[in-house]
Structure 1
């Protein structure tokens, strides 16, 4: 009886997961299949679950499509801007978070609890609440319409530092003492020991931050008025939501972060919740 109950429970769990997967991925699959049809033969309802024969032709023509009023922006340029925003934000976020956590954990920083509390407070404040004062600072530094202006303000959150502080507290004190006996200073200990040990969490945080940076919309809209600085997500405004080109841009904007998460989902979970253990 217990075996049957366990089997029924397993079937029920998988059924719930299957339903959830269909609800989450179904619209995206329908959108992708719709873009494989010629522009003049789009279904009346807008989406279809039947594949077409013009997918390669549609996407190859999209690559060289000129966007905007100036005609200088292309899909490749928009994708490059999105990549720079996502990768730049992720790399700097990981580096600054680990360095801040290292300082708060291993050094006698005055008012360290207060500093950590302020970092935690930044997690509770939505990014949109800081847009106006942040824009004033960026504009005064003449960083509008630049990649730096899009990346640097997004770094002002303490979520990465929080995770690294919790992880570094689990590192045995004997490791620090052994490094000191070996003659390793703070910089060598950080580079040769802590950074390699933290690689799983660094990789997990990089992926999460990359997806966050890639999907940014409101801040790039506010900071970039030059069409050559638009991101792929913002490029959707050039076309109607039901147009073939708009659907293809939506698919392209979702594909890189989705593939990154799917390919490295186990590493993300292991890094964020288990560290290197």
Structure 2
């Protein structure tokens, strides 16, 4: 399972990348990284419309962070309202939310672009973030988790005089750290791996993410492999951090 990752990082420090003819015979990591980095820094000089790698990295962080934070916040509050606050119609709104799973952004690309044009969202972070929010997936995960919480918790909170806001932050949120972390990682990766939608919504290449940059520098080249290694690093750090959170929460419960 780690073979592709090892090949990726090995190609990232080779000047020729996957195209190197002497990949295993003339392996020079220091000179390869330097040459690949120079090619990345010269990316915006290849054309005035090409953004720099730092701009693409900042765009990817902004898109993925905006998607993850929005999804966790809205999905958690929606699941909390459907599970604990709505006395009637909770199942209806839950089913209506799940119906949006059948209409991902890839299935409604042209219609979403037309709406974004009319709302003035072209070349904006808002236009990059809002259409790809996986709110239905987050709401489903949070609802399934909250249904496992004992109903006696809500009764005890009411007896202690705790309102809905206090019950949310003092009881529900601390007991939901694991699903919050899982939804955050899933949403972050969905926003981080966006390629086609930013290509459509950013018509002057202003908000191109890292995934677009891999194609700009030439797929399989040393510079593209270095950019791919940089792009995969945040995902690895998030997974490692989530595993630490999971083990920590599990040890506390045990």
Asked if TM exceeds 0.5, the reply is: yes
Q: 2:182 aligns with which of 192, 199, 204?
A: 204
Distance 1:128 1:71, change over 3 A: closer
> 1:1-277, aligned counterparts within 5 Å?
21=1, 25-39=2-16, 43-44=20-21, 48=24, 51-53=27-29, 54-58=31-35, 60-61=37-38, 64-67=41-44, 69-70=47-48, 73-108=51-86, 110-155=88-133, 157-265=135-243, 267=245
Contact 2:98 2:137 (8 Å CA) reproduced:
yes
TM norm structure 2: 0.85
Helix, strand or coil at the partner of 1:99: helix
Task: Measure, in 2, the Cα distance between the counterparts of 1:51 and 1:118.
Answer: 56
Give how far 1:74 is off.
0.8
Q: RMSD across aligned C-alpha pairs, in angstroms?
A: 2.9
Q: How many residues align?
A: 250
Q: Distance in 1 between matches of 2:18 and 2:220?
A: 13
Structure-1 separation of matches of 2:99 and 2:25: 45
Which one is further off, 137-146 or 254-263?
A: 254-263
Q: Is the 8 A contact 2:15 2:33 kept in 1?
A: no
Cα shift at 1:72: 6.2
* Cα pair 2:122 2:201 within 8 Å, conserved: yes
Scaled by the length of structure 1, the TM-score of the pair is 0.79
Higher-Rg member (1/2): 1
Distance 2:154 2:143 in 1: 16
Equivalent position SS for 2:225: helix
Structure with more contact order per residue of length (Cα contacts < 8 Å, sep ≥ 6): 2
CA–CA distance in 2 between the matches of 1:201 and 1:270? 14
Secondary structure of 1:230's counterpart equals coil
Cα drift, residue 234 of structure 1: 0.9
Q: How far did 1:148 drift?
A: 1.0
Deviation (angstroms), 1:78: 0.3
Secondary structure in structure 2 of the residue aligned to 1:73: coil
Aligned partners of 1:268 and 1:132: how far apart in 2?
A: 40
Tell me if the contact between 1:207 and 1:268 (Cα under 8 Å) persists in the aligned partners.
Answer: no
CA distance in 1, matches of 2:244, 2:57: 26
SS in structure 2 at match of 1:228? coil
